[in-house]
Structure 1
Amino acid sequence: MSRTAKRFLLGLLTPAAAIANRLNSWHRLWAHARLKAALGSALDPSVVVLGTPELHGSRNIRLGRDLYLYPGLYLETQERGRIGIGDGVVLSRGVHIVSYASVVLEDGVMVGEYTSIRDANHRVAQGRSVRDTGHDAKAIRIGRNAWIGRGSVILRGVTVGEAAVIGANAVVTHDVPAGAVVAGVPARPIERARGG
């Protein structure tokens, strides 16, 4: 494409792009309204919804204030499961949270893209399909201001302490103390950098 043609097309498209950018706030309002309707409960106006989350199961979900919810969020509650999200939480693109017991994210938690938080494992029984064996569930709690790195997996029964850091792509199978930094598969403590 010649520079002249490109300049001409950009001249035509730029005003349309400006209008589309202004309409983006309407898209957020629509996503907020859809989430509120799907939950059938109060959703604080301070919650920023960049794309309507995908909800499944009983929808036993409580959302706090000042949340930032990126597109591609998946929330599922089954059986007696519940999801509780505190104030000021950030759930990045593609986060999956599934609960058969309880998953609680306290105030200020930041969850990186494509993280999976699941409080139940499938049972395994000889001669039976895993799909038909049910689940063993145990509550997950993530403490205030914890930071969960991109692509992490947090499994049943785990408590992540306040201000703990989970490294990207970690698989967390045991409790993480407050202020600890863990990484790896399975996640293990690592030292913080000194002096920085």
Structure 2
Amino acid sequence: MGNQQLRKNLKWTLGTHLRYWRNKQKLGSCGKGIFFEPGVALMRFPENIFLGSNMVLKTGARLCACNEQATIRIGENTTVGYHTYLFASAGISIGDNCLIAPFVYLVDSDHSIDRNELINRQPNQTAPISIGNDVWIGTGAKILKGVTIGEGAVIAAGALVKDDVAPYTIVGGIPAKKISERK
């Protein structure tokens, strides 16, 4: 299990069970054994959020399906770190057994920047984000629209990922570049 070490230290209380039950009512699907810490927000269209079993969502995590068509799908045994934000205007898909550290930001849209129009009147440009199984995303990393991260990849802390990442590749920097490969 990808988050086995973390899960053995979780304290299941009445509050934990109540948060699970309350959130399960809102979501499109909610697997078994999901640990919702206090202060997790399921925003705008929570019925478009689909969570696999045995996940951990840490305090301050924000999952936002921003419109009626947007979806967020997260696989089994994945941990979403403290104050991590997932904002989907098209779709964000995260595989099984992933570790997402604190303060990570995934957003699948940005604004057009035509100089002949006010910024706040310009349309969003969207493209889904896809993250494979067994991926580790380090603290403070940012994943931008249209990015696919392959199975087993590692994203270094603070990286800005604007291009696809091949399976089992380690990337870091601004913008993120290949550092190495998992052995």
Query: Any idea what SS the aligned residue of 2:13 has?
Result: helix
- Aligned residues: CA RMSD: 1.9
| Residues 168, 182 of structure 2: 8 Å contact kept | no
Deviation for aligned residue 1:52: 4.4
CA distance in 2, matches of 1:90, 1:151: 15
Q: Which runs of 5+ in 2 are unaligned?
A: 1-10
Aligned partner of residue 171 in structure 2, secondary structure: strand
Native 8 Å contact 2:139 2:157 kept in 1 = yes
Instruction: Identify the residue that residue 141 of structure 2 maps to in structure 1.
Output: 152
Q: 1:193 to 1:68 in 2, by over 3 A?
A: closer
Is this contact kept in 2: 1:51–1:69, CA < 8 A?
Answer: no
Are residues 1:190 and 2:179 paired? yes
Alpha carbons of structure 1 residues 193 and 144: separation in structure 2 relative to 1, 3 Å:
closer
Deviations 1:133-165 (A, max 9, x none): 221000111010000000000000100010000
Cα 1:193–1:98 change in 2 (3 A) is closer
The correspondence of residues 112-151 of structure 1 with structure 2, limited to 5 A, is 112-151=101-140
Residue 31 of structure 2 corresponds to: 44
Alignment-derived partner of residue 78 in structure 1: 66
Following superposition, the deviation at residue 44 of structure 1 comes to: 2.7
For 1:191, what is the secondary structure of its paired residue?
strand
Higher percent of residues as strand: 2
In structure 1, how many angstroms separate the alpha carbons of the residues matched to 2:35 and 2:41?
15
Task: Report if aligned partners of 1:48, 1:66 keep a CA contact under 8 Å in 2.
Answer: yes
Residues 74-93 of structure 1: CA deviation (Å, up to 9, x unaligned): 01112321100011111011
Shift in alpha-carbon separation, 1:130–1:55, aligned structure 2, 3 A? farther
Question: In the alignment, is residue 26 of structure 1 matched against residue 14 of structure 2?
Answer: yes
Please tell me whether the aligned partners of residues 50 and 71 of structure 1 are also in contact (alpha carbons under 8 angstroms): yes
Q: Is the 8 A contact 2:70 2:91 kept in 1?
A: yes
Q: Higher helix fraction: Structure 1 or Structure 2?
A: 1
Identity between Structure 1 and Structure 2 (%): 26
Query: Residues 33-67 of structure 1, C-alpha deviation per residue, up to 9 Å, x if partnerless?
Result: 2212332x442331111124212222211001110
Deviation at 1:128, TM superposition (A): 3.7
**Aligned residue for 2:55?**
67
Checking the alignment, whether the CA contact within 8 Å between 1:143 and 1:163 is kept in structure 2 is yes
Letter of the structure 1 residue corresponding to residue 51 of structure 2: L
TM (norm. structure 2) is: 0.86
Correspondence for 1:54 among 30, 36, 41: 41
Contact in 2 for aligned 1:31/1:52 (Cα 8 Å): no
Letter in 2 for 1:72: G
Q: Mark the structure with the bigger radius of gyration.
A: 1
Alpha-carbon separation, structure 1, partners of 2:118 and 2:18:
41
Q: 1:193 to 1:142 in 2, by over 3 A?
A: closer
Partner of 1:107 in structure 2? 96
